[in-house]
Amino acid sequence: MPRTITVGAAQLGPIARNDSRKQVVGRLLELMREAHGFRCDLIAYPELALTTFFPRWAIEDERELDSFYESEMPGPETKPLFEEAARRGIGFSLGFAELVIENGRKRRFNSSILVDKTGRIVGKYRKVHLPGHSDVMDRPGQHLEKRFFEVGDLGFPVWRAFGGILGMCICNDRRWPETYRVMGLQGVEMVLLGYNSPIGLGDPFELDALEPFHNHLVMQSGAYQNATWVVGVAKAGFEEGFNMIGQTCIIAPSGEIVAQCATMGDELVVRKCDLDMGAPYRADIFNFAYHRRIEHYKLITERTGAIPPPETT
């Protein structure tokens, strides 16, 4: 019997700094109901889906900063998502800012959860590859993820859910091949990947201009090289003075984009995904057990930065 997951990639348009959780959750619920109408098994939301992309500001007030984080999941404001999911029999993945207290200390993570069709959390991921900087720069826009989040401490787990093997990652993780390969070595069949990717934060124009190309390039190569579906779900549009690239898409294990949003607003794209589509790739060109040569890969885990060989005279 074919193993399929009908997935809805739920792109979000801009979220304003003063938008309430109730307003945002209302938008998420509308997309969930639309996905249910398409008989989706699963709907995937973007990174930091409950708020604006707050790391663009150097927020000093602790109470204001805390207001962007979730200290429980579900909480009073997000509980309707879980209730609606259980009522309609649809799962979801959700990116959010997570605040936990451990040993009397606040810990902050850029996180994502996977929720099954009964409204039960079956998996959690915390973002590993934090981009940007920790020091405030003299420019209008910041990218202060290193200031407002800790590096994720859960690794890159996968879960048996929805009849397949699913994993999650967040935004900048998609640019690192190790992200997909660690999940690929666990047999991942679908990666749910939320992102908020702005342009105009001080990078050279040459880099900003290529951001849309690079966005799809890394997800397509990750899908192909690990024979997995990749569901890349974006925040899009002009948000609080900055452009978010959007380009929400669903990518097959062949590396081909098979569905993509056409707008910069709230939009759902749907695809019935055959989880066995990656099998021919895993049996042949990306048969890891047959072709990989780990004795030659030691530098990947022994070294962080690049060290060129010494010059010869």
Catalytic residues: 47, 127, 171
CB 146 within 8 A of CB 134: yes
Name the nearest CA neighbour of 132 among 197, 68, 69. 197
The Cα–Cα gap between 73 and 77 comes to 9
d(CA 95, CA 168): 10
Neighbours of 174 (CB within 10 A): 26
The single-letter code of the amino acid at 103 is N
Q: How many CB atoms lie within 10 A of CB 186?
A: 13
* Cα–Cα dist 171/144, whole Å: 14
DSSP sequence for 62-108: HHHHHTTSBSSSS-TTTHHHHHHHHHHT-EEEEEEEEEEEETTEEEE
Q: Is 224 helix (H, G, I), strand (E, B) or coil?
A: helix
Strand partners, 112: 95, 125
